[in-house]
Amino acid sequence: MNSEERVWTPYRGPFDPCPPVPFKTYVVPPNQFIAFQPPGLPQFPLSEALRAGTLWPALFSPYESKAGKGGI
């Protein structure tokens, strides 16, 4: 689990017909932690930036699909 991933416990009602879900996760994007773009921020090389989807490593957040892990 990376530092951008958060976990919370959903409410389980006493008459909830669905099977209980113990916890859910969500990702907080890195741009929420940077108040403004400081000058001289390091940059990816252009070929790597195209693969990463951003020019700045500080704003890079890898996406891990939960589809293969049985999640939604």
Residue 26: in which H helix or E strand, if any? strand 24-27
Question: For the whole model, what pTM was predicted?
Answer: 0.59
Determine the pLDDT at residue 69. 64
Query: What are the pLDDT digits (tens) for 14-50?
Result: 998 988 889 998 888 888 888 887 888 999 999 999 9
Q: Which residues of 23-55 are buried (b: 16+ CB within 10 A; e: fewer)?
A: eeeeeeebeeeeeeeeeeeeebeeeeeeeeeeb
Tokens of 33: 């932690």
Query: Could you tell me if 28 and 13 are in contact, meaning their C-beta atoms sit under 8 angstroms apart?
Result: no
